[in-house]
C-alpha cells in the first residue's frame, strides 16, 4: 500500500516518520522543503501533490485548517482532479466538521472514500506514536485503515459518519483549553497565597484533579517553558470551529468563549506561536508574578 502524506509540520513530520518505521512506502509533500528533506532522509520519497494523487492508494493530509484542506483537495489543480475510484483520503487535520462533510461529498462523486481522523496529544505523542485518533466515515473503511492509524497512535476510535471525528476533536479541544485555564488559575492562586506551585502539583496530581493535561502542562508553567507542542494560534483556530459548530447546533459553550478570549489576548500580545500552556502568562500579566519562579 502506497501512502501519500501532505503536511509535515510539528505534528505531520513525526507522524510520517512513524509510518516509515512501520514499513509503509511513503510519498510526501510540504510547502517547506527543509521538512520534506528531513522526512526524505528517513526513507520517504518527495513528490508533488499531483504525483501523490495519481500514484498513492491512500492520501493523508495534516494541514492547519479547513481552507487549506479544501484548497489542496478541491481547489484549482486540487488533488481530487487527479484521483481515481477506490482511493482513500484520510484527513488528520483538525477542521470544521461541515468542511469534512463538504469534501467527502465531492470526493464520493468520484468513488473516493474519506475518513476525518483528527488527533490529540501534541508533538510529544506524535513523536512516540501514542496519539489519540478520532475517526468519522464509513466503518468498513475505518476497519481497513485502523492498522495504519495505530502506527501513529495508541488508540483509534470510530465515532460515526464523516464529520464525527472532527466533532469529537472539538469536544476534546474544549476540555483541554478549559483544563489549562483552570490549571493556570489554580497555580496563580497558590503562589499568591504563598504556597509553592510545584508542591501543589505534587500534592494533587494523584487525586481527582489529576489529568494528562496537568502532567503535561504544570511542569511547563512552573519552568516558564512555552516552547510549542501545540501553538496558541492553532488552539484559537480549533475553538473558533467549536464556537461555530456550537452556534449552528444550539449548544451553550460559555466556558469555551471565555478561554478563547484569553487565547486571543495572548495572540494580540505576541503569544500566538507559544505553547497553549502560555495561558499562564495571561495570569502572570494580571498579577505581576511568574508561576513557580
| CA 9 to the chain's CA centroid | 11
Please give the positions annotated as active site: 169
All three cell numbers of 199: 508542591
Give 38-46 contacts, CB < 8 A, sequence gap 24+. Answer: 38/8, 38/13, 39/5, 39/8, 39/13, 42/16, 42/17, 44/5, 44/16, 44/20
Q: How confident is the model at residue 7 (pLDDT cuts 50, 70, 90)?
A: very high
278 and 190 share one domain: yes
- What's the CATH number where 198 sits? 1.10.1040.10
**pLDDT at residue number 293:** 87
65 and 22 share one domain: yes
CB 119 within 8 A of CB 126: yes
Distance CA 232, CA 27 (A): 30
The count of structural domains within the chain is: 2
* Domain end call among 127, 160, 193: 160
| Residue 292, in any domain of the structure | no
| Residue 280, in any domain of the structure | yes
Mean pLDDT of 79-92: 97
141 and 13 share one domain: yes
246 and 215 share one domain: yes
Distance CA 239, CA 30 (A): 25
130 and 10 share one domain: yes
Instruction: Convert the pLDDT of each residue in 195-243 to its tens digit.
Output: 999 999 999 999 999 999 999 999 999 999 999 988 999 999 999 999 9
Q: Is 90 exceeded by the pLDDT of residue 182?
A: yes
Q: Is 90 exceeded by the pLDDT of residue 163?
A: yes
**pLDDT at residue number 213:** 95
Distance CA 292, CA 199 (A): 10
Instruction: Convert the pLDDT of each residue in 57-82 to its tens digit.
Output: 999 999 999 999 999 999 988 999 99
Distance CA 231, CA 49 (A): 26
67 and 152 share one domain: yes
217 and 253 share one domain: yes
**pLDDT at residue number 119:** 96
**pLDDT at residue number 46:** 97
**pLDDT at residue number 236:** 97
Expressed as residue numbers, the domain containing 104 is 2-160
CB 131 within 8 A of CB 153: yes
**pLDDT at residue number 229:** 84
Instruction: Convert the pLDDT of each residue in 148-157 to its tens digit.
Output: 999 999 999 9
- 284-260-96 Cα angle (round to 5): 145
**pLDDT at residue number 184:** 98
CB 31 within 8 A of CB 9: no
* Domain end call among 160, 182, 216: 160
Instruction: Convert the pLDDT of each residue in 276-287 to its tens digit.
Output: 999 999 999 999
| Residue 293, in any domain of the structure | no
| Residue 173, in any domain of the structure | yes
* Domain end call among 133, 160, 187: 160
**pLDDT at residue number 148:** 98
37 and 65 share one domain: yes
Amino acid at each position: 500500500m502506497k501512502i501519500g502524506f501532505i503536511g509535515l509540520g510539528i505534528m505531520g513530520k513525526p507522524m510520517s516518520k512513524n509510518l516509515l518505521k512501520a514499513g509503509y512506502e511513503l510519498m510526501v509533500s510540504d510547502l517547506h522543503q527543509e521538512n520534506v528533506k528531513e522526512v526524505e532522509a528517513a526513507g520517504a520519497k518527495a513528490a508533488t501533490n499531483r504525483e501523490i494523487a495519481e500514484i498513492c492508494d491512500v492520501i493523508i493530509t495534516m494541514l492547519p485548517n479547513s481552507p487549506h484542506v479544501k484548497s489542496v483537495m478541491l481547489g484549482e489543480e486540487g488533488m481530487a482532479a487527479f484521483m481515481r475510484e477506490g482511493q482513500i483520503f484520510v484527513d488528520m487535520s483538525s477542521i470544521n466538521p461541515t468542511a469534512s462533510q463538504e469534501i467527502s461529498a465531492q470526493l464520493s462523486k468520484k468513488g473516493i472514500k474519506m475518513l476525518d481522523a483528527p488527533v490529540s496529544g501534541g508533538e510529544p505523542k506524535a513523536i512516540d506514536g501514542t496519539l489519540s485518533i478520532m475517526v468519522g466515515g464509513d466503518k468498513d473503511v475505518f476497519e481497513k485503515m485502523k492498522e495504519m492509524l495505530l502506527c501513529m497512535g495508541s488508540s483509534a476510535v470510530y465515532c460515526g459518519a464523516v464529520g464525527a471525528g472532527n466533532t469529537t476533536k472539538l469536544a476534546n479541544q474544549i476540555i483541554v483549553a478549559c483544563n489549562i485555564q483552570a490549571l493556570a488559575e489554580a497555580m496563580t492562586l497558590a503562589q499568591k497565597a504563598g504556597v509553592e506551585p510545584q508542591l501543589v502539583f505534587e500534592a494533587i496530581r494523584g487525586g481527582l484533579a489529576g489529568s494528562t493535561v496537568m502532567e503535561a502542562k504544570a511542569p511547563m508553567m512552573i519552568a516558564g517553558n512555552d516552547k510549542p507542542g501545540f501553538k496558541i494560534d492553532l488552539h484559537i483556530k480549533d475553538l473558533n470551529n467549536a464556537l461555530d459548530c456550537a452556534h449552528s447546533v444550539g449548544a451553550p459553550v460559555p466556558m469555551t468563549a471565555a478561554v478563547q478570549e484569553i487565547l486571543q489576548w495572548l495572540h494580540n500580545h505576541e503569544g500566538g506561536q507559544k505553547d497553549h500552556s502560555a495561558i499562564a502568562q495571561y495570569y502572570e500579566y494580571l498579577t505581576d508574578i511568574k508561576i513557580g519562579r
